[in-house]
Structure 1
């Protein structure tokens, strides 16, 4: 900063705080450069504490939990390093979005959180670490989470009324963070990144040390671009949901129709009134050269656009637009086949978005699960980690949805083994300093997925690693990347000795990474007695910062899923009183309810909560119930299709 130096400090003892300090020193001057607004204070401190909830910005001070901001770079995974970077960079963004310029009221919380998400987890990290592919990870993470949540009837607009204090904590959800960040990313792509940031700078300068509303932001970006941003963007912020574009082909080109997308299927007329202004970002090809029309906007319910459909084309280039695209089965097959080619015109982010759309559209009944399985099967030669990450997530969700149907689960696991075991055989189990980040992540993903699919060879290798640890008392031979899956396999297929060893690791709290691996493993047992012991640990011994990870681990395990929910319900008053004033109360509720797939479970959960005061987590509860309803309908509708596909293909 011109004139004087800003001092950055981390208030915590030990080397595990050094990375947060380095992140702060790297990011702070970049924010000043991008926004053209100086950080106004002579220092920026970070205070780390145990049992603190998440991270929070203050005037010249960031406070954060040790379990999310401490990191031993030698003993942590690639993803954990990125997570710490993103969290701290996100909080630094709040020095501008939140402190220098503050939303006028809670209804525009997204002006703080959406911008901090976009800047702190995409734009700034991409400038410092382009090798992390922040844009692609944003699509897999924030973008997909936003669309999954916003596909529920119980969703809410990004800008939402906040009539009383009980609603404030609930507004800190994936819509204020992930959807808002995704909508702003779409706008940046449409107007151009430089013009977008210029407009943001004008917005900040016009409201230095003051309050702002949505119109103020649109005014700044309009001044920089000459575009009526309010006309283009208001519905994306003030209206609930997002569209699915149905694309059909005719002699003129393509016909595109927009309707609200819901995970339960086509929206009723009363839920389908919004007409969004949709940047179509059409990729087309001519003489083997691709081009993107960023100016094309769908402003009506439906319209026809001139496109040469004899050549490859695709809407939503780079998956920048906040919508799904439904092609005909024939066109989807053509795009997927072209995308599988080594020199495809479709980018990494195109492939990732296409995959996410395929799974989401089949879940909602617009297509069949066999269509998404076919895309995965076509892409088994894929080279990029991010696409494999998307394939793994889609298949994992299917396994979890059909968790009580042994036939479907076993077929899905068999399919997973055909995909991931060859990757393990190619990449091996050893990590080298010369490995690229993508190679490290792909190896870890492949081993984890093969283990989850019960591949005997992979399980034997991981069990041998843990047995060596038991024998020597030294776990240094277990790479940080494989710690979680190794510990989980040991507990899942082991007994008392393995479980007790993991509990000791958890209680030692040597590093956040190791404790995270241990907490996940504590929920992996198939033994009812050990499962009960874990639930007792949660009730009687677990610290506040440990409850959600432990509940999530138990819920992810088919053998303990119901035990997790029963423990929460039987001790509801205890957990409610511990979390009632915390932002994560809704997260705790979701962690215990989000995995069921039957109408009977829907009715039981709905009945249980009818007599509870749910005002502090009403959104989370409604979203969980909507999810159960959608999954239940999916199971009833699509089981035969999945089994038929496996019968014909695997």
Structure 2
């Protein structure tokens, strides 16, 4: 399989800039022309000469450079080099300026370069985004630089450790709004005689030969405050016809009042209030927890209609897609609301984790993302929305996503060697985010959350405006806790995988043994060398029936004996806090299930969620029968908590997705799903009272989705009735926002042309981002091949690039559309690859196209398709997809008879 040049053949420093000079400050001027969709400007980079040097290397990509001018106190006059004489390395995205003299160490220099570029739709670098204004397509522009795309917008030293300050000046059409990391300090309409900004005026005058007097042809110059020292990847600016909502918060540390805004196009701004409110609520909480004040004078959020990732933590100017920040409270489903709150809080967390204190290099990306996921989406947000039970929900979300990916041989360590940009782009995954958050959560429980957060504060204060590596964090938490943190944590971040702990009951207690857990079954010796330090969190029950948890027991060897009374209930990984699966004997699992199903069980909500997920994973890997997992789910039939039912729901959907080509098993499995969930629907109904508890609301939604997906006629009829009523009357109030996705999907699956056309009209003009996403996913739900062809035509000719994965997801969710999706992807591979070559998109499409397959033939066919292709931009996603297909195929081969037999005996 073709791929990038082997790391072994290229020294690590070949991917990094030389350290002979170091930037300290950038004076950056950028002119944006939204009519011609171009930008140009110039940058003066102030440099410290660290070592004697005769050449200067910097990053640049996809820009046309003008001449380079170098001034230095060691030079009698500036040295000028024409752009054509610079040496360019397009693969490494850098240019070299060779000097005719040596710059001595300890001196300073200034390098000034003109540049120009296109505002493309790549969603990386400085790019354009489209919106509809007065019936026509209009554009605005914004930046997305993480991880290595600042070099596409201006020549720079584009590495996180090379922090500098930035003074940004923007030149734009006078009727637009300019935004950047810092507040504007001045703004003037351009005139050749303008006394302010004389350097910019001089430059602009040389560019503009003649200006008409019309307003559209007027330019304005906006200067922004100087930033603190920061990495290039969080530099940001934007230009367009933006409207905004405004609020403020008062710092609990200083009493300072800071303005908070959300910007977007005027047609969408009315949906931004909730995101603004969340930002206002979480900021003072972060300041208190970290004991560090937010350091910038303002914090804006810009919402874009074209955005590759979910959102981006640019310092002072957070950016993101519409579904990440916008919602209409009257039409918002709970999942949409949770997503907006989590995204906003996650990005605000980065103002400390990542922006003030930044990882040294991309191999420590998790220091940014793991913290923002744990602290932002769980610890802080739980203080604002305690009714969401986010600490418990973490298990089904972050922890399960992490363990699902990390159970593959194609996983990677949290701290992963990241030599080049291709690799850096690929590690924004469930390991850098979710596994990192999971092991930090485990550490937090082990040392206590109070000492954990105290240690984090120590770490942040010690490295304000600096760069860090893992040991710096461990030192902070060790100082706060007095524990040997590296001893416990190093293997969790430096080694891939996680353990399964087997519990064997012996006289006087239990013997526990750890081995690496793989979804394909017991690991070969060569893949089973790591010994983790596992906080076992042992729950035991005394003679009075009172439970207690010992969080101090570490399994830091292969096997260990623990004395306890096995005649009473016990459980490892109490609270499902640590990152491991627990394998009990079948007899003990029955006893645990019986205890867990009791009204006032000693096993917590978190314990019960963990039991559900362990059962699914262990059965998939062949450690136990699938029927044992199903018996456990059946034992929970009287469970009250939504989060347990949600875990059962996802597990049963995973089974159906795996056996999607076995009609007999699928029919019997659907009957079991209906048996569990239809009674809940009949108890709770289809309507959503305003004052009901959030758990009831979520449980109703989950039960209706499972009942509809498993084909219950009563539920399907009700959903279709509501869809038809909305279409026929034009009043969609009969569709509760939480049921929008399942109603659209069910209507298209069971219907025909009329239903499909109704959904596509919703996609064309959605009232909210969530409605548009539900419609796009439903476009892939038809069983009519002609309609699926129309969906594919929409993908190739009409869809925004940022929305492709919603459409792919809809096709993958449709069992009848999976092989259609694979065929179409392969037929159109070149067009898709070229369309997404400049962003993250291809690796996401690989997952949605191939992760649903489940046969050895599908695995072999997929592998053969990619032979000879350059997979360097998505090699990890491809390897993981192939592993996923192989493990699903092995599961089918191993467990079909057991599954069929258990389901048949219940019929």
TM-score range for the pair, normalised by the shorter chain length: over 0.9
Name 1:8's counterpart in structure 2.
Answer: 260
Cα deviation for residue 171 of structure 1 reads 0.8
Q: Choose from 69, 73, 76 the match for 2:332.
A: 76
1:311 lines up with 2:568 in the alignment: yes
Name 1:256's counterpart in structure 2.
Answer: 512
1:220 lines up with 2:476 in the alignment: yes
SS at match of 2:300: strand
1:143 lines up with 2:395 in the alignment: no
* 1:198/1:224 contact within 8 Å kept: yes
1:355 lines up with 2:607 in the alignment: no
Q: Choose from 260, 273, 298 the match for 1:18.
A: 273
Cα deviation for residue 3 of structure 1 reads 4.7
Name 1:620's counterpart in structure 2.
Answer: 877
1:484 lines up with 2:741 in the alignment: yes
Q: Choose from 326, 350, 359 the match for 1:94.
A: 350
- Aligned mates of 2:558, 2:642 — CA distance in 1: 37
Q: Deviations over 1:248-291 (max 9, x none)?
A: 10002000000000000000000000000100000000011000
Name 1:41's counterpart in structure 2.
Answer: 296
Q: Choose from 500, 518, 535 the match for 1:244.
A: 500
- Aligned mates of 1:612, 1:249 — CA distance in 2: 52
- Aligned mates of 1:635, 1:431 — CA distance in 2: 39
Name 1:546's counterpart in structure 2.
Answer: 803
Name 1:433's counterpart in structure 2.
Answer: 690
Name 2:447's counterpart in structure 1.
Answer: 191
1:51 lines up with 2:306 in the alignment: yes
Name 2:766's counterpart in structure 1.
Answer: 509
Name 2:754's counterpart in structure 1.
Answer: 497
Name 1:327's counterpart in structure 2.
Answer: 584
- State the superposition RMSD in angstroms: 0.9
Q: Deviations over 1:528-570 (max 9, x none)?
A: 1111111111111111121000001101101111111112111
> Which of the pair has the greater relative contact order for Cα pairs under 8 Å at 6+ separation?
1
Cα deviation for residue 521 of structure 1 reads 1.2
Cα deviation for residue 141 of structure 1 reads 0.4
SS at match of 1:559: helix
Name 1:590's counterpart in structure 2.
Answer: 847
1:385 lines up with 2:385 in the alignment: no
* 1:276/1:299 contact within 8 Å kept: yes
* 2:323/2:340 contact within 8 Å kept: no
TM-score (norm 1): 0.99
* 1:420/1:446 contact within 8 Å kept: yes
* 2:260/2:300 contact within 8 Å kept: yes
Q: Deviations over 1:92-127 (max 9, x none)?
A: 011001110000000000000000000111001111
Name 1:364's counterpart in structure 2.
Answer: 621
Q: Choose from 774, 777, 786 the match for 1:529.
A: 786
* 1:50/1:67 contact within 8 Å kept: no
Q: Choose from 445, 466, 483 the match for 1:210.
A: 466
- Aligned mates of 1:4, 1:282 — CA distance in 2: 46
* 1:218/1:230 contact within 8 Å kept: yes
Q: Deviations over 1:465-485 (max 9, x none)?
A: 122123212211111111111
Name 1:602's counterpart in structure 2.
Answer: 859
- Aligned mates of 2:564, 2:831 — CA distance in 1: 61
Cα deviation for residue 37 of structure 1 reads 0.9
- Aligned mates of 1:605, 1:311 — CA distance in 2: 51
SS at match of 2:503: strand
Name 2:597's counterpart in structure 1.
Answer: 340
Cα deviation for residue 520 of structure 1 reads 1.6
* 1:114/1:176 contact within 8 Å kept: yes
Cα deviation for residue 586 of structure 1 reads 1.3
Name 1:270's counterpart in structure 2.
Answer: 526
* 2:354/2:368 contact within 8 Å kept: yes
Cα deviation for residue 509 of structure 1 reads 2.4
Cα deviation for residue 57 of structure 1 reads 0.9
Name 2:816's counterpart in structure 1.
Answer: 559
* 1:172/1:583 contact within 8 Å kept: no
- Aligned mates of 1:73, 1:588 — CA distance in 2: 31
Q: Deviations over 1:562-607 (max 9, x none)?
A: 1111121111122112222223431111011101110000000000
- Aligned mates of 2:391, 2:578 — CA distance in 1: 13
1:636 lines up with 2:888 in the alignment: no
- Aligned mates of 2:783, 2:408 — CA distance in 1: 33
Q: Choose from 631, 634, 650 the match for 1:374.
A: 631
- Aligned mates of 1:564, 1:581 — CA distance in 2: 23
Name 1:30's counterpart in structure 2.
Answer: 285
* 1:252/1:304 contact within 8 Å kept: no
SS at match of 1:168: helix
* 2:540/2:569 contact within 8 Å kept: yes
TM-score (norm 2): 0.71
* 2:358/2:465 contact within 8 Å kept: yes
Cα deviation for residue 4 of structure 1 reads 2.0
1:300 lines up with 2:552 in the alignment: no
Name 2:433's counterpart in structure 1.
Answer: 177
Cα deviation for residue 42 of structure 1 reads 1.0
Q: Deviations over 1:385-430 (max 9, x none)?
A: 1001100111101101001100110010000010011001100111
Any unmatched runs of 5+ in structure 2? 1-250
SS at match of 1:58: coil
1:400 lines up with 2:661 in the alignment: no
Name 2:718's counterpart in structure 1.
Answer: 461
- Aligned mates of 1:486, 1:114 — CA distance in 2: 35
* 1:283/1:315 contact within 8 Å kept: yes
Cα deviation for residue 637 of structure 1 reads 0.8
Q: Which of the two has greater strand per residue?
A: 2
SS at match of 1:284: strand
1:409 lines up with 2:409 in the alignment: no
* 1:243/1:260 contact within 8 Å kept: yes
* 2:549/2:574 contact within 8 Å kept: yes
Cα deviation for residue 649 of structure 1 reads 2.6
- Aligned mates of 1:4, 1:347 — CA distance in 2: 42
* 2:759/2:779 contact within 8 Å kept: yes
SS at match of 2:324: helix
- Aligned mates of 1:231, 1:584 — CA distance in 2: 38
Cα deviation for residue 339 of structure 1 reads 0.1
Cα deviation for residue 164 of structure 1 reads 1.4
SS at match of 2:816: coil
